[in-house]
Chains A and B, each alone.
Chain A
Amino acid sequence: MLQLIQDIIYDVTGKSGITYETDFVQDLALNSFDVMNIISAFEEHFDTSIPTREVWQLHQVKDVIAYLAQKGFTEP
């Protein structure tokens, strides 16, 4: 799942070097528009809709991995 997240973030923002501990705002300096683009990319990849209010609780890459696992999303 880390590889998928790395790929999506690179595609959307051009940023690399993502680890489990990477913080989207503190380390990558992403703004809300970047985050919306990333949500859109995840929704397209998993063919689902992710409620935006749940996204703002996810600060680090490991939070996204735990969230996706909790929702039952796995890599195809």
Chain B
Amino acid sequence: MAGPAVTIFYCLSPEEDRQSHALLYRSAGVFSGLSAEELGPLETNPWGKPSFSLRPDLHFSISHSQDWWLCGFSSAPLGLDLQIHRSHAAPAVLSRRFFHPWEDAFLSREDYRRFFELWCAKESWVKYTGRGFYDDPASFSLVSPTGEFPVMEGAQLQLLPFAPEYSLCLCTKTMGEVRFSSLSP
């Protein structure tokens, strides 16, 4: 059985995070028809994941990278992450430092070409769980011992096409329809 649908709103990145707050309420209004007053102010769980205080059943996940800002909405928990393929440190260095040994071995075999896909998948998972990177990112693996990627028991990780030179991953409990919707400036 298909899971709840996910709508992903996108627009050009705001310059400051404060503007992300306004974009969140705008997109939530388009998705749900609810006003900012009906949604209530944001509150955060102990690891910093935000939710609407008056409508915690309206789940969302924000991601931004370089030129783009995205926010996914659904009636069930979700984690969304976008990342431009640009890094100061070499992917191999970051992989050895922050990824699980199974993940590093997988990336090494692929000459680190899938580094950003794996990064997005890991971040979408920790956003889905609501714990962020409070836990050491090397403490869990999205690559199975036999080299399958992306896998995580009890969750579905979908690598979605978005824009050239970007990776995007959505994590949900079950797969449902995914819609993209442009948010006008």
Q: Are A37 and B63 in contact (CB under 8 A)?
A: no
CB < 8 Å: which of A29, A43, A56 contacts B14?
A: A29
Docked Cα-Cα span, A53 to B46, in Å, equals: 13
Quick one: CB contact mask for A22-61 with B, threshold 8 Å, 1 for yes? Answer: 0001110101110011001101000000011100100000
Q: Given A40-B93, A40-B94, check contact A33 B16 (CB 8 Å).
A: no
Interface of A, secondary structure class, is helix
Cβ of A69 < 8 Å from any Cβ of B?
Answer: no
Q: Given A31-B64, A37-B89, check contact A25 B17 (CB 8 Å).
A: yes
Docked Cα-Cα span, A31 to B88, in Å, equals: 14
- What total of chain B residues lie within 8 Å of the partner, measured CB to CB? 28
Q: How many Cβ-Cβ contacts under 8 Å join chain A to chain B?
A: 56
CB < 8 Å: which of B88, B123, B133 contacts A11?
A: B88
* Nearest chain A residue, comparing its CB with the CB of B84: A33
Min CB distance, A57 to chain B, in Å?
A: 10
Q: Are B97 and A32 in contact (CB under 8 A)?
A: no
Min CB distance, A29 to chain B, in Å?
A: 5
Which B residues are in CB contact (< 8 Å) with A32?
A: 123, 132-133
Residues of chain B touching chain A, judged by Cβ–Cβ distance below 8 Å, are: 13-18, 20, 47-48, 63-65, 83, 87-89, 93-94, 97-98, 119, 123, 132-137
